[in-house]
Structure 1
Amino acid sequence: MRAATGELAGRVAFVAGGSGALGRAVAERLSSLGASVAVHYRSSPARAEAVAAALGGPTIAVAADCTDPGEVDRAFAEVEAALGPVDILVNCAHPPDDSHPGVAEASPGLLERQLDGVRGHLALVQRAVPGMRAAGFGRIVYVSGALMARPSKGFGLFGAAKAAATTLTRYLALEEGGHGITANIIAPGRILDRDDDSVLDESFEQLADVLRGRLALPDWPDTHEVATVAALLVGEASGHLTGQTLWVTGGEPIA
């Protein structure tokens, strides 16, 4: 196991959704900068454990249904016992759903599934913030999405849930800044996963041709490029950057 060196040495990061493609890239990036990393998963223990094992530093894979505050509390207690108090929270998690009806046809059940992402984010930050307050330091990053501001047919409930959790994060920035806690949002559009030559979020495939024509750059960002932005937001250099949304879209205009 390597010695903890780097900009984030001594920090403990909880990466929610760490077994997914983007979460894996974030975990790898924070670990490479010296952080101890908790790789959170809900239903993919083998993948999360593989991510944790590959990091090469102090790591732990930890399970929780983030919509259950009791499970979140247990997961944080497990991380605190193994790695120490959590002072970095990066939330890459969102409930999976492959159905994309229009708003007028969407079921109440689909709305509840999408809002689980907001409930999970709230449970995570409510568990993380007290320890960050006590330490006088904290970094919170929520991974939202361009669909919260750039509408596309069939993604109304997804976009609404992302917008709600984004607003919650901006309020955290306002309310917790006096405790040394920053809270920021990353809003990607389409994300490539070059590690396995596939595209993250295959349900967005139908948007590909339209979106590509809107890009300023030759291609969409990949998971590692988005992870680099997350690392910037949790580092010392961004200590006065809070309440902001960073659009990582390959230059796709959002407004």
Structure 2
Amino acid sequence: MSYKVAIVTGAAAGIGAACSKRLAQDGIAIGVLDLDEARCAETVAAIKQAGGTAIALGADVSHREQASAAVARCRDALGPISILVNNAGITDFTPFEEMTDERWDLIFAINTRGPMILTQLVLKDMKDAGWGRIVNISSSSAQTGAINMVAYSASKGAVVTMTRSMAQEFGPYGITVNNIPPGSVMGTIMSEANRERFQIPTEVLLQTIPVRRMGEPGDIANACAWLCHEASGYVTGQTIGVNGGRVVS
């Protein structure tokens, strides 16, 4: 793969950090973007120590001005962006009857509007190159639903359907768009919040996963790297479940 530039959102830790490091192994320069730029330092340092190229970027993906400034910094430092991983998101456990308009709007702003904004900001670079890869990180909750997670599940369900429509609209320009709905992944902020809230013993949870192990951020990152590769150009509009078989299609 020739020199390419990727932006990965929510990349200070967890799945975003793993995707950043894995893509960097393929020689891709990485814009490591998170809400707090200082928190990106660890991911950037790990990439550089391994011989890769990375820059830390700070922005709230739901605010167009902040996101636009971050993308411009990345483009100035590394070059046109041809890969985008929309990973940034927030979880929520508000019972449906207690959900407020403000909370609903915040969840959709980050989980759904954020990917829309970032995609718009990098699309011209991809069109100009006649090549692009967009990977949206959704959630298995969008496939199954989840108690006390109506807003979160709905926002991630929107990401799934956005992926399908984007794939059809951008395909003629050489741009593929796919989404990965992770299952139970250890070491992420969301998974730990789930475990703490619902107090599900690991041995019980493992009985729901056919491969009988929890996922790791690297499992998602490996699938992401494959979708971003030159060889995956005929794969678009797809939901690539990385969940140990908990959700099958």
Question: If the length of structure 1 is used for normalisation, what is the TM-score?
Answer: 0.89
1:30 to 15, 19, 23: 23
Q: Which has the higher helix share?
A: 2
Match of residue 220, structure 2, among 203, 217, 226:
226
Task: Please identify runs of 4+ aligned residues in structure 1 that moved more than 3 A.
Answer: 207-211
The question of 1:76 aligning with 2:71 is answered yes
Query: In 2 relative to 1, CA 199–42 (structure 1 residues): closer, same or farther, beyond 3 Å?
Result: closer
For 1:201, what is the secondary structure of its paired residue?
Answer: helix
CA apart distance, 1:231: 0.1
Match of 1:41 among 34, 45, 48: 34
Secondary structure of the structure 2 residue equivalent to 1:81 = helix
Q: Which of 135, 143, 159 lines up with 2:137 in the alignment? A: 143
SS of 2:55's equivalent? Answer: strand
Q: C-alpha separation between the residues in 1 aligned to 2:102 and 2:28?
A: 38
Matched residue of 1:18: which SS?
coil
| Map of 2:103 onto structure 1 | 110
Find the counterpart in structure 1 of residue 192 from structure 2.
202
Structure 1, residues 116-164: CA drift from partner, whole Å, max 9, x if none? 1211111000111111011100000000000012122111110000011
8 Å CA contact retained: 1:146, 1:254 = no
- Corresponding residue of 2:247: 253
From 83, 87, 94, give the equivalent of 2:89: 94
SS of residue in 2 equivalent to 1:188: coil
Letter of the 2:19 counterpart: V
From 107, 122, 143, the counterpart of 1:128: 122
Count residues in correspondence.
Answer: 241
Q: Do 1:176 and 1:182's aligned partners in 2 also have CA atoms closer than 8 Å?
A: yes
Instruction: Say which of 45, 48, 71 aligns to 1:53.
Output: 45
Partners of 1:207 and 1:176 in 2: CA distance: 42
Query: Structure 1 residues 107-116 or 228-237, which shifts more?
Result: 107-116
CA distance in 1 between counterparts of 2:17 and 2:143 reads: 26
The corresponding residue for 1:183 is: 177
Which sections of structure 1, spanning at least 5 residues, go unmatched?
1-6
Q: Distance in 2 between matches of 1:173 and 1:221?
A: 27
* Corresponding letter in the other structure for 1:143: I
Letter in 2 for 1:202: E
Matched-pair identity in %: 32
Inter-CA distance 91–208: structure 2 relative to 1 (3 Å threshold): farther
* Shift of residue 102, structure 1, vs aligned partner: 2.2
Give the aligned residue type for 1:94.
G
For residues 66-91 of structure 1, the C-alpha deviation after alignment (integer angstroms, 9 at most, x for no partner) is 11112111111101110000000011
Aligned equivalents of 1:24, 1:177: Cα separation in 2: 28
Name the CA shift for 1:181/1:107 in 2 (closer, same or farther; >3 Å). same
Flag the 1:96–1:199 CA change in 2: closer, same or farther, 3 A: closer
Question: 1 CA distance for matches of 2:248 and 2:129?
Answer: 37
Mark the CA change 1:222 to 1:118 in structure 2 (over 3 Å): closer, same or farther: same
**C-alpha distance in 2, partners of 1:160/1:231?**
26
CA 1:166–1:84 in 2, change beyond 3 Å: closer, same or farther?
same
- For the aligned residue pairs, the C-alpha RMSD in angstroms reads 1.7
SS at match of 1:62: strand
Corresponding letter in the other structure for 1:204: N
SS in 2 for 1:245: coil
1:190–1:200: 8 Å Cα contact kept in structure 2? Answer: no
On the 8 A contact 2:241/2:247 being kept in 1, the answer is no
Cα contact 1:38–1:59 (8 A) shared by 2: yes
Judge which range, 163-172 or 204-213, deviates more.
Answer: 204-213
